[in-house]
Amino acid sequence: MQFPGIRPTAGAALASALVFGGLVAQPTAARAAITGSQITSPSDPSFFVADEDAATQFFAIAGTTSGGNPATDAIVIRCYFGSKSVKLAGPVPLNPDGSFAVLLANLNNVLDLTCRLRAVPSGTAPADLTPYAGPLIGVGERATSRVKGGTNNKKAYDYVFDAQQKTGAFDYASLGTCGVNDGYLYDPTFANTTVTFACNAGLLGGDSAAKPTRSELQIDGANAYAPAAAFAVNSAATGLPAVTTTYTLDAATGDVAIRETDPLVECPSAAYPPTAASCSSFTPSGVTDTRTITQDHDGRISWITDVFTSTDGKAHALDLLWDNSQRFWGPSGNSTQLEYELPGQNAFAKHVAGDAVALHGAPGRILVRMSGAADGEMSTGQGAIVFDRPASQAKFTYVQPTRSAFTLHQTGTVPAGASTRFRFAYVQDYHAGTIASLAQTARAAFLNLVAVARSGKGRGKVTSSPRGISCGKACSHGYGYGTSLTLKAKPAKGSRFVRWSGACKGTGKCRLAVEDAVKVGATFALRACVVPNVVGKPLKVAKISIKRRFCSVGKITPAPSTLAGEHVVSQRPKPGKKLRQRARVDLVVSGG
């Protein structure tokens, strides 16, 4: 595995003038008889994963040419990025109609690249590529690392996954290695100009490279290890856990989703650092992490979601030091010059190893840039780390020219037989404005939506403290993790509040600690008509009394009487009867 972030292909192109296999660097040759070409398959754009765990890593290419002699001419298929190209196939003969096809083009020839396919005349290096049209392709990779030999032979402990998109890419490793292993930004010609993130959202076996004092993952106060970290302790130990991965790829956009499962284990001895002798076996911690990685926005955002689940029916305390390493330079640079704007700060600052900064707020945002670099500078780029739950501290553990690293301290509780979630987004771009916009997209996505639904025949309003919900008008709102939220129901005139449902119960105020999406129901009912006693009252007073009891005045029948003025002589229904709202009360009234 490359560290701190140079991929064998694109990274090497940045770091030196070494030539890729099949790289065209010759002067332009004489004009070929073929005057143009169009690659019609695959579609434009198309994204692939060269799955090294699969039997084959091939794809088909087809197209047409114009000009030339199909009987004697041939084409070469190359993939172009920046000022370079990689050969995929050729010479490829033409069919009598000038068409061509390659059924088994090897994805490994363009591994970890985003580039444009073109079919050029064999033996030439055209200065003008415009007549030779073809699709943009991105080719990532997947490979699983397995134990070689011994009792754990062939057990999977780690993996690598590279996901290419139009304007950027990320590659990944498992939770116990690096998580986001590297981030890459591409210029408009698809040249990789800078490596951004270098090892992020990992929970490694040690909290620093020099003198580790604990594992970055602790469960119930004990050092714990994901499969890759356990492998580093003792690959021959009994109980070594295995990592499992699956993925899906949108071939039209390059959006990818990776699902990773890491059983978390502990050593029988509390001694740290562990050795093969002190950790000859691993015991289950009672917790498993299921990680979901999604990548989108044309390679500008990588989303990480970790769900820690109790597997033994018990509650568990988590103490996490998320490892985050940054590079942000290409052919040359110095990561000691990186500067950060941390949550609660309004200015960027450089840091040295040992710096510890207290943090607050969620969702939280950390901005990263190279000191002195102009906005839009392609040799460095800029970034943001967004997280959904409060973090107490960022501690810088390693600041050297090669990389700048800190741990992000978070804690949490896994409920008995249930789970708890942590989320991150890694944003990369050349421009501060784009970083701010994408970071805000992530912050909004990390808010926990509280949705209120009203039901029943009655009417009423639900409001929140802190503000955000005022239902009828605004019946949902997003809140940061851990927000203490109070909902209050106020019935409208003629209605009454019946009860809460969903996340709240009862009839009083609804109080919530928002830690996930929440649905709350509020039921309102119409007030009943409770017939008042209006016999003997003046008609005007009787009407007011009837309406106040949510009834309506029905038929009024006059009756002879010696009384002065109109008074109620009798009523129907009788006083005290409970009816539906606005039920009619008939009156017999003296004629005066």
324-358 pLDDT per residue, tens: 999 999 999 999 999 999 998 999 999 999 999 99
In tens, the pLDDT along 281-308 reads 999 999 999 999 999 999 999 999 999 9
Look up tokens 């602790």; give the residue: 218
Confidence of residue 377 (pLDDT cuts 50, 70, 90): very high
Confidence of residue 12 (pLDDT cuts 50, 70, 90): very low
How is residue 298 annotated by DSSP? Answer: G
How is residue 360 annotated by DSSP? Answer: -
Give yes or no for residue 5 having a pLDDT over 50: no
How is residue 336 annotated by DSSP? Answer: G
Question: Which phi and psi angles does 213 have, rounded to 5°?
Answer: -115, -15
In tens, the pLDDT along 485-504 reads 999 999 999 999 999 999 99
Segment 106-110 shows an average pLDDT of: 95
How is residue 527 annotated by DSSP? Answer: P
Q: How far apart are CA 119 and CA 117, in angstroms?
A: 7
Return the SS3 of 441: helix
Give yes or no for residue 505 having a pLDDT over 60: yes
Confidence of residue 18 (pLDDT cuts 50, 70, 90): very low
Q: How far apart are CA 284 and CA 264, in angstroms?
A: 6
Question: Which phi and psi angles does 117 have, rounded to 5°?
Answer: -75, 135
* pLDDT of res. 32: 47
User: Which domains does the chain possess?
Assistant: 10-139 (2.60.40), 147-446 (2.70.98), 449-526 (no CATH), 530-590 (3.30.10.20)
Q: How many CB atoms lie within 10 A of CB 130?
A: 8
Question: DSSP strand E in 132-282: where?
Answer: 132-133, 136-146, 156-164, 168-173, 180-186, 192-202, 217-219, 222-225, 244-249, 256-266
Segment 53-66 shows an average pLDDT of: 93
* pLDDT of res. 209: 78
Give the tokens for residue 421.
């979630």
Give yes or no for residue 81 having a pLDDT over 80: yes
* pLDDT of res. 6: 38
* pLDDT of res. 8: 44
Return the SS3 of 153: coil
The mean pLDDT of the chain is 92
Give yes or no for residue 164 having a pLDDT over 90: yes
* pLDDT of res. 398: 95
Return the SS3 of 365: strand
pTM (2 d.p.): 0.86
Give yes or no for residue 25 having a pLDDT over 80: no
* pLDDT of res. 565: 81
Share of the chain above pLDDT 70, in %: 94
In tens, the pLDDT along 171-226 reads 999 999 999 999 999 999 999 999 999 999 999 999 987 889 999 999 999 999 99
Segment 249-261 shows an average pLDDT of: 98
* pLDDT of res. 362: 73
Segment 560-572 shows an average pLDDT of: 84
Give the tokens for residue 54.
């699969």
In tens, the pLDDT along 381-414 reads 999 999 999 999 999 999 999 999 999 999 999 9
Q: What is the DSSP string of 423-465?
A: EEEEEEES-HHHHHHHHHHHHHHHSEEEEEEEESSS-EEEEEE
